[in-house]
Structures are given as C-alpha cells and as structure tokens.
Structure 1
Amino acid sequence: MIKKLLSIVLLLGVSSAIAQNLYDDSNAASPTNESNSTAGWTNTAQLFSDNTTAQSGQFSLRAVSTNNNGRGMEYTFNAVVGQDYDITIWAREGAQSSDPAFANWFGFQTFPVTPIVGTTWTQYSWTLTATTATPTIRIFTSSYSQRFVAGNTIYVDNITIVEAGGTAGDTEAPSTITDLASSNTTTTSTQLSWSASTDNVGVTNYEVFQNGISIANTGTTTGFNVTGLTPSTSYNFTVFAEDAAGNTSTVSNTAVVNTLAPPDNQAPSAVTDLASSNTTTTSTQLTWSASTDNVGVTNYEVFQNGVSIANTGTTTGFNVTGLTPSTSYNFTVFAEDAAGNTSTVSNTAVVNTLTPADNQAPSAITDLASSNTTTTSTQLSWSASTDNVGVTNYEVFQNGISIANTGTTTGFNVTGLTPSTSYNFTVFAEDAAGNTSTVSNTAVVNTLTPADNQAPSAITDLASSNTTSTSTQLSWSASTDNVGVTNYEVFQNGVSIANTGTTTGFNVTGLTPNTSYNFTVFAEDAAGNTSAVSNTESVTTSAGNGIVDYTSENANLSTVDWTARDLYATQNVGIGTTDTQGYRLAVAGNVIAEGVKVELQGNWPDFVFEESFDLMDLEELRKFIKTNGHLPNVPSAAKVKEEGIDLGKMNANLLQKIEELTLYILSQDEEINKLKNENAILNDVLKRLELLEKKQLD
C-alpha cells in the first residue's frame, strides 16, 4: 500500500524520471520478465523458483541453506562506475530462519548490512554508487554462526535496479477503475471483475488489494477469484492499474464483500507428517504440513507425552524448549477449526534430546608439511587431529588469512601463489561443537622461480679501438635478456680469452705485432643460456719496435748462445714439439718454475658482490647440476680432457664459485635467524595459550 500511496503523490505533483530496469534476467524475481527460473543468480545455498508464495506475479526465488557453509545467493549486473543506482528488493523469512540479511555487496561505495526481518513480504530499498562495472548483490539465508545449519530459508521477489534520476520515459498513469464489482460470493471466496483501464502506452498489470493489503497481480486479466476468505466476514477490495513504466492509477472504487456463513460440522484432516529437526540437549523444532478443512483450520494444539503444551494458531510448527538432555519424548498434534471441530490425533514424533555440549577441543596439528611446490602452487598435508567426539573440519590459513575449509580431508592444494615468494601456512582442527584446536606448526613454503629458457640477444656492434703492436680495446653495446645478462665471454680466433661479467668492453693484451686476429663475443644469463655469436671484429696489430726475434733459422745455431739473452719470437714457440696448436708457448713435458704470474684478461669475479648480480636460485642450481653434472660456467670433465684448462680463467671461475657459495651461506644464515625469531614468537604464543588454558581449568 505504501507503494500505491507514493505513486498517487507522484502523479498529483511530481513528474517522475523512468529508467531501464537493469535486473533484466528472465526469472522468478523479475517484475516485468517473470519466468519459472533462477537464471542470472549464482549460489552456494540451494536456489529454487517457488510458486507457493509470491510478492508479485506467480513466482518468487527461494534460497535454502545447506550444512556445508552454503548460505548465499549472488546477482551481478552491468553498471557505470560513479553512477548512483536505486535498488529495490522484496524479501521475507521462511518457516526456518536465523538472522538472514543483505550483506557484503561488492562494487558499491557504501553498503549497510540490512537484516531481513519477518515472515511477511517487506520492501528493502537502497541508493548506492557503483565503484566497479560489475557490482554484485549478495543475500545470505543466515548469519555466519549458522553457516553449517541446513534448512534456513528466505524468499525474494520483485527486484528492480535502475539508475537514480534516469532518462525520461512514460510518465502518464493509466485511468482509474470505477466499476470494480464482486459476484459468486461463498463462505470463503468471491469473484472480482472490472472494466479495462486505458493508458497512453498500455496497461501491463492490475494489482488487487484486500483490506489495504496486496493479494494478487493479474497481468492484463480484468478479474480475479479471491479464495481463502473467512466465513461471515466483511472485506473491502480495491484495484490499481499499472503500465510498463511503473506508472500507477489512482485507487479504484471499493467493492465491499460479505462472505456467507454456512454451518460447519466437518473436522479438519489429521496431521500425518509431524517431524522434528534441530534437536539440542534441551529443545527441538516440530514441523508439519497444513491440515485441510471445509472452512479453515484456525489452530493446532501440540501435546508432549500426552500433555498439551502449546496452541500455535495457523502456524505449522513449534519450537519446544525446556527439555531434559539425553531424554526421549513423544509429540502429537491436533488440528482445530473455528467451529471447534477437532481432527484425529497426528502421527507420533519420537524425539531423543542430545547429550550435553562438547567443550573439548581437538588436538593441535604438529606435522603440517608441504610438497610438490611449483612457481604458483604447493600441496599441504598433515596427520589427522584427534577429538573426544570427532573432527569435522580443518581450516587452512595463508599468512594468517583463512583460505579453505577442507572438511575431514587432511590435505589441501594451494594455488594462485606468486613465484619466488615465501608463505607461512597453518591449520586449525574443529569439531561439530565448534571447538577449535590451538594453531598447528607453521609450514614455510618458498615458491620456485620460473625457469629461464630464453637466451640473451646477440651482439651486433662489436668494435675495436686503440690498437697497438700487442693490444687492442674491444667494446660493444649491452645485450638484452628477459631476466638479465650476467656475463660476456670474449673469443680470440675461436678460443675463449676472457669473461667480463656485465662489463661491455675488454682490453686485449699479449698480441703479436703485425698480426691479424678475429674477435667475437657471446652474452650469457644466470640460467646458462647463451646468445648467438656476435659479429666478427678483425684486428691487425702494428709492426712493433724492430727487435730481432727468435726464429727457426737461428734457433739451433751453435754460434748463438740463447742462455745469456732475452728470447723474443714473432710467432709461437714450441719446446720439445713442433705442434703448438695455436698457443704462444707449447711444452711437450713438465714445466717447473719458482713462480707463475697469470695476467687475467677478463674481469676479476668481484662482480658477484654487486647488487645487480643475479645469483642463481638453489633449486635451479640443483636442477642444473642434475642435468649437466657440473657447476654453471665451469667446464665439464669431457671438455677439460678435450681442451685442457686455462689457469687464469679457471682460477677466476673457481673464485666466482667461492664468492657465490659465500652469498648462499649468508642467505641461509639470514633465513635461519628469521626462523629462530619466528620460533621464539611461536614459543611465546604457546606459553601464553598454556597460561590461558590453565586459568580456564582452574
């Protein structure tokens, strides 16, 4: 009636702005597109299209909770961010209900939690600002504390979602009905009829009111058969006409109907399905189907062990309290009508109350562990907790936030993690009474770093400068890589001569005067991926300083005493061999010296301690060793056997590995200290919990 009165006020003094109803799915709660469907809604509760009760039309949506946290229903619509929306929903509680509410809506600037109160249809309205393009309406059948209770029921109907102050539309109301009349009146019914209302666009519905309360929407039908009336009673009936834009006519004339009063000698039918549910230590919920009667049932009388304990009126249920725990009771029900006729006795519902509440918590989990960790997931597992009655659920926490309830399953596969990230996981055990164990041990999980299979880009601008008789300066632009370049390896005539780390240049020394050389460079990343070969830079050294060198012509002359002078050679020198294999000095046999100095042509590996150095993850290092059988940037046994060892390069590589090992040790020490601190915190928490438990026991 409030809706109709408001429409009258608007028609008399205000021109309304009509907007498109964004609740446009064809389902049981649509005011203009109703169908026997739940389309458009997602749900964790059981969701049905119900034709037993409706606020408008023939259907409404009925949501019933399950016993596994299934208590919600959601509807998402397309919106404009920043736009205000007028949202109207009719709702009511079912026979079994526990604090249902509109709550936790998504995508609105503000939203107050709104309880659903009462078993009669009530209109709930909000004006809210959209903060996303797809806001979501959420309705819950019960409070969070009732999340494992099945059967909590709510109904919703006649939903509208329109832009506040929408675009102008049809503002002309239908004409008023002036000939509403009744016929064929009986003790419990009457037939209403009226002439069609006229409208500039078209009448889409007639709403019938009985004593000021809406009882039916007839669509375009100009008549309605009213049933369920009380004999010998006077009723006032009125009708409003409505169009598609929501414009409502003024109220029709009032048709006064007086129902007949025949004698009633017929008793109501017996209740045959009396049942109980939600039995506790001291209470139980009785329910039954409605009894039928030729006039109408006016009361149900409930008996406990043969003694009357309640009269429920027309309510087909009763919550029995004050019972004794661990006790058996027999309940029966009689139906009565207004003439005092009483049905035969119902079936007997035998109820056994529960034993006293369980206050003992399950044991704490002490062996929570993870396995099969990837870049984005890990598998958690643990041994079953023990309880005096039985564990019913395990709740898993990630960094202190609940992420899952596993029921009685002692494991959970965590997904959606971030690569190369540390996470702390804990688990609590719960029993049916809601007792919760103390926190489990913490499983620390470090997700893997994604495998790097992409090689750096090839160098295309290798160049030389400042070339002398024995040296030249090489330079190039930095190579690019998806992770990062960690080293450049320089080759002289196909032989590796230096690793420069991240330095894009190298000063080559020890060259032979008046000689041509070819230089190339490869780029490498931390995963061992190597770029394609660079362009070749050809360099010719200058002629030198004119010193007469050692040659094959004067090498074995008896007139030349080489023991008393320095030895210079323009080409390679072989001792005991003529095959120098391209080396400047080749010796067939052992070499002894008081000292050997190697002038390293590459960077000394202190670049490992630079912040930009990308230290390989230990898990990747383990995989590399398993696959290749040696450390990264260290030659394999087969390669050493085939090519020998460059002492300068090998010493640099070994020092690099020592420095990397130092970084691993420092990292592990930091992790150990972190775990020590966390362990100390956990020990302190456990001590506090023990003190609290001791105080409770005392």
Structure 2
Amino acid sequence: MKLKLLFSTFVVLLSYGLNAQNLHTQANAASIENEANATTGWTGTANITSSTDNPFQGTYAISSVATQGNSSTGRDMSYTFNAVVGEVYNISIWARQGNNANSPAFANWSGFAGFATTTINSANWTEYTWTLTATNPNPVIVVYTSPRSGSQAGNQVFIDNVSITPPNSDTEAPSAITDLSSSNITMSGASLSWSASTDNVGVTNYEVFRDGVSVGNSGTTTSFNATGLSPNTSYNFTVFAEDAAGNVSAASNVATVNTLADTQAPTSVTSLTSSNITSTGTTLTWASSTDNVGVTNYEVFQDGVSIGSTGTTTNINVSGLTPSTSYDFTVFAQDAAGNVSIGGNTETVVTLAPPDTEAPSAVNDLASSNITDTSVDLSWSASLDNIGVTGYLVFQDGIEIGSTGSTSFNVTGLSPSTSYDFTVFAEDAAGNTSVSGNTESVTTTGTVDTEAPSAVIDLTSSNTTSTSSNLSWSVSSDNVGVTNYQVVRNGIFLANTGTSTNFNVTGLTPDTTYDFTVLAQDAAGNTSTAGNTESVTTLAGSGVVDYTSENANLDTVDWTVRDLFANQNVGIGTTNTQGYRLAVAGNMIAEGVKVELQGNWPDFVFEEKFQLMDLEKVREYIKENGHLPNIPSAEKIKENGIDLGDMDAKLLQKIEELTLYILRQQNQIELLQNDIKQLKGSNQY
C-alpha cells in the first residue's frame, strides 16, 4: 500500500543525523514527506512546473518540458544535495514519459561513482533506483527530456516520489496506539482521537483504516474526522503510526462507531407541473426535494396508484392515457433510510381529444376557363370535412404545382398547343388529404414554340486582369421568352448564367488570348445562332519563374523543392500541347481534382418556369439522334473530348430531370390508387 508521508518532523529527524531521513528535503511536488505545489530545489533550462496530471502519489508531480529543439540547452532539470564523500546512497525516483516523448533519461550525473545513463522508456509510472558512492560533497542528479540530437520543444518527462537515503537507515517501528477513541458521532460521521506514538527517531504520519481499508492520513496530528458514513451502521476503526524510514507500528486498538439512525423524511414535492400534453400522454416535472442525508428516489402516483419510480431524476414521461380524460398526479420523495415525504401538490391533467383522421371529401367538379397559350384558370366547389378544410393542393400531370386557400387557381408558364391534366386535393389541419376527384384536361391555344431567340451580337468585356474578365451583353429577344444564356470559351461550353446578362470569368492564365461567345436559349430548348466573338487578352503576370532549358540546372533555381510556375503552356511526355495550358501524354493519378464551374449549377431545372420535355418528345429525339437532348454525341466527344465541369453539369441536369419524371409518375400512381379505393368503396368491383 502506498502511503503519503508528511514532512512535518524534519527538524526532529535532523537532530538524529542523516542516517534516518530522506535527503530530498525541499517541499516540492516530488517530495514524499512534504509534498507541496512547488518545484523548490529543482533547477535547469527546461520549463519546470508542478503538475496535477496523473501524479504517482499524492496531488502533485514535477513536469519538465523542453523549451528548445535540437539544442544542448532547454531540456534538463537537476537537483543538488549535501553528501559525505565515500558514503553509499540509495536513490529512488519514479518517472514516466509525457507529451511528445523522445527517449527522456537520467544522464550526466556528477559527484557519483558508478553512475550510467538510464533511459525513461515508459508512459506508465516506473521506479528507477541506483546505489551510488558519493565522490563530491554536493552531487548533482540530472533529468533530460530527450537526447541532444533529437530534442524538440515540447518534449516532456514527469518525476515523483524522490528518495535519497544512505544505507543502514532506521529499522525501528513506532509504538502501537492503544487508546484510539471516538466522539461526536452523527448519522454520517465521527471524530477519532489518540495519544502520540513514540519512535527512536520520530513519527511522521498516522494512517487511519475503516473496516480494514485505508481512509486517510493525518500526518503528525493525533485526530481524524471520519465522514461519508451511512446512518445506523457499525464501523471498526484502527490507526497505524509510521516513521520517515517507512517503519509501521502494530495495529492500534479497535474503536467501534455506531452511526445514528436517519428518521427525518425529505421535504414534500410542491412544484409538480405538467407539459407536452397529448391525447395519450404528458410530461411531469418538479423541483428537487431536500433531506438531511439525501433523496434517493421519487415515486409517481396517478389517481392514487403508483405508476413508477424515477430514482433521483425529477421528471417522467407518462404514456398510455385515454383521450379527453382528467387525471390527478402526485409525487413522493424517499431517502435511503426509507423515510417518505408527506403529500405535496396535485397536478391535474386533461388529455386532448383524439386526433383527426377523417379526410375531406374529394374535389369532383374541377373545371377550367380562360385558356390561353400559356395559362388557364381552374375552379371548383368547396370540399366538406368533419372539422374544416384548410387548403387545396393543385397538381399538373401528377406533379404538385401550388396550393391555395380558395377554390380557384391561376396556372401560368404553360407551353402553347400542349395538353395538360389537372387534379385538386383538399387538406385539413391534421394533414388528412382527400382522395382524387375528377381530372380536368386542358389544351392550351397557339402553336408549339420552334422559334429560337435572337443572337447575342454585342458581347463586350471589361475589367480584364491577369486572371479574370467581366463579360456583358444586351437581352436577347424571343417570341416567348429567353430562359438561359450559355457562355462559350474557345468553342467549349463554360457556364450557364440563367437570365443574367453578365458573367465574371475567373481562373484565366496571364498574358493569354481567349475567344468568348454567348448563346441564348428559350424554355422550349431553342438556341440562338452564334453572335459576335469577344477576344480577351489577359494582362501579364508578375513575380513568376518560367521553367526553361536555360535555367533548368541553375543552382539559383531549385525546381525540386519549390512550386512550379509557368507563363506558357506545359507539356508532360509531349511537346505538342495543342493550345492547352497542360497536356499529358499518358495516364494521370491524383488524390483529388477540383473543377471550378463559372456559371449556374443546373438547379434551374427545379424552378417553376422550367419546362420539362414531354417523354414522347424525348423518345422521338433519341430515335432520331441516338443520344439524349443536350448531351454531346459520340462523334462530338471523339472530335472535341470532354470538359469535365460541363459534362458533370449536363449529367446532373439529366438526373434532376429524371427525378421530376419519377415524381410525376409517383403522383400518377397515387392518383390511380386513390381511384381504385373509391371504386372499391362504391362496390364497383
């Protein structure tokens, strides 16, 4: 058993000479007899502090942290003591590695014969011992955080329980205590006292045991306050006396303590409240009761019948109640002795009515009027509901396009000469939705839009820098309306801008010429012809070094440890870059490739004005062209290659369009399922 020995008898021990005491005398974090929050006696170039981080014994240990890297200084701490030349000393130090450990060691001691460097090789506390002969009256103990060649700032080592004693130390134990007695006995504690033990050198500590288990040390004080006892319980206490050499007396007499019984009940629960009331449950909460010892449990009663205990938790979720019913709840507090509080307040809870599960009636008279090329007015009679209709959901070809609190709805953004199917569902406050009613088929007037927007012929650039330029143009005209502009750089798609007529191009290369054009598109997918081409030459960069055959081997240009910057094109495995900034003849591997798109990500698909191509038209397009609309053909890919950013945007657009097709199909399936339910309900099957 490890004991914490206090150093209050140092003066007494000194009078008997060095043969009976630990020569590590200063009050500091590594002392055994007089531990203190200090580093007194230990000096050095490292950062030496008292630490509470996992000490070996007691409250503190000494931490040494290197302050410099790759240095002969900033990594050591040392301790000097008075010795007799030629006398043998037993030295014991407990140590462990700390943060950023790098082979700490006991090394370079002076004033000793027979010392060898000892490595501290574990993160766990380990005892290191030496038996050495003093060759100097002031020998020095040195601890290093790391070797000189591997020293880094932050290398750390801990030491604790330092003992320096000559051989043939004190072996005589103190006398046994024979008058241990108790007083001031309560439900949870008692006071112990005894007469001082005698020793040939001096008693340094008394250790107190309760039922054979150590519960504390009193130093040289001949009394001890035992706490944390349980009421109405018997305990046996004994005390052992110890001296500085670690000699322990025989056991004292046994002092039996019988704690008082707990008869005081906790205070009443008078703050019981309820919340989160539903048709079948509620949450009860209350403030903690007080007790002379401590509350150990709360028991909850519902209409006078116990429904459960919560331990020391002051809330409970009650379930399984009946809708529209009144209940009375009370809570009683209990302590470990079984004392129960008197009744507190009663919380009355009235559960809510059962939830509304009845759906409104179907909308069976949906009608249309005021049909134009792009819009139609829908109207219907009010649905009926057991509580009340709160709104209507309008569907176009199985996809929800809006909601309304009235019995009419204006649909816009339609295509000319196109057939649409509309349905309306009624909803109530509980979220119940009516079954499908009638379907109103509407064909818009006009003809299919095949007219492309006008070409962009006034594309200009401004604010050109070495890596960017701002493009702008006038609005294109169209018989219906322009929905998007495509920006093309050097013949390759760069970005979509939606309806915005300007675009900031970034990521350009300094001192390079680019050709830009812009194409206009309408909702029907018609694309304008190419307009004017705006040539932009970026400004020259500054402060970059070009890799050339002339400077490749210069000592002043180290290409192996620096970033590589080039004003011109770079070819790897090839001398023909075909005009690209980087050309690689062969395969490439990378941990990641980032393509910075300079335009709108195709989320415009989910905007209300976006017109999803009819599936029959998609079928005809595939049959005629052999690939999806807005996706380049195999011939085009073979001829021009793939722009990853452009292709990712196009593929995402197709995924988003596919999602809309699936949602439309799901709504149509639900409509059919509702129709089937209605038919079954009317006995037509």
Tell me which interval the TM-score lies in, with the shorter structure as reference length.
Answer: 0.3 to 0.5
TM-score where L is the length of structure 1: 0.34
